[in-house]
A = this chain, B = another copy of it.
Amino acid sequence: MSQMLQIYDQLREMILSLDLGPGERMTERWLESRFAGSRTPIRAALVRLEGEELVRRDGRNWIVAPIDLGELEALSEYREPLEATAVRLACARASEADLAAIEEMLDACQSGAPREEWHRVGTDFHVAIARLSGNPFIVKAIESVMARLSRARWLEVWTEPSREQAWAEHRRILDCIRRNQPDEAVRVAAEHIRDTRDRLLRSLNDDRRGLRARGFAVIGGR
């Protein structure tokens, strides 16, 4: 694989896993030493990440995108009709095998599982459902949404009740699709999205101070 893609993957992972703090400044020359490779592939990776808005320009500098609390509301408003459409289409188009695969994914996530596992499955569930819609634009949009939520969700998966509630809601959505009840599926999915928004806002507001203390840029909110 090309160096550029390697660097892109690593950098993206470092950002989404909070290895690089939101708001942190990166110089191309620091990245050059951090990863093996010259500025050429690093620049390409940065431009790419800029397109996903995981990285941003601050004047002439590159910074990791800050966590924006205000964004959470808009994101919820945006994804709700998309995921509603996704579950509706999934009811019409998904095969039993597709649904079984998703169920297996959910079941693989037991109480004792590490936080990374809950975090990953929580993302993958939504993307997998979107995939059932058969619509590549919906899939891409949901992937992008989950990437934007990724960093905030590390806080959500910190507490047992949040994890469990999200998991239960995922299960209910899946069941509605399996029973081919599109209207109910849409209702449950919308409720899940609003619940998630509230959970994330609460987590972030609670931990805001702690995050700032760790040097994370957390902006917006009311």
Q: Using a CB–CB distance below 8 Å, which chain A residues touch chain B?
A: 40, 43-44, 47-48, 50-52, 74-75, 77-78, 80-82, 84-85, 89, 135-138, 141, 145
> What 3 A-B pairs come out closest when comparing CB atoms?
A51-B51, A78-B137, A81-B81
CA distance A84 to B52 in the complex (A): 25
Residue pair A85, B74 in contact (C-beta under 8 Å)? no
- Which of chain B's residues have a CB closer than 8 A to the CB of A84? 81
Distance (Å) between the CB of A119 and the closest chain B CB?
A: 22
Among A40, A47, A85, A137, max chain B CB count under 10 A is at: A137
CA distance A82 to B81 in the complex (A): 7
Residue pair A78, B47 in contact (C-beta under 8 Å)? no
Closest Cβ neighbor of A82 among chain B residues: B81
Residue pair B75, A85 in contact (C-beta under 8 Å)? no
Distance (Å) between the CB of A190 and the closest chain B CB?
A: 12
CA distance A48 to B78 in the complex (A): 24
Distance (Å) between the CB of A211 and the closest chain B CB?
A: 23
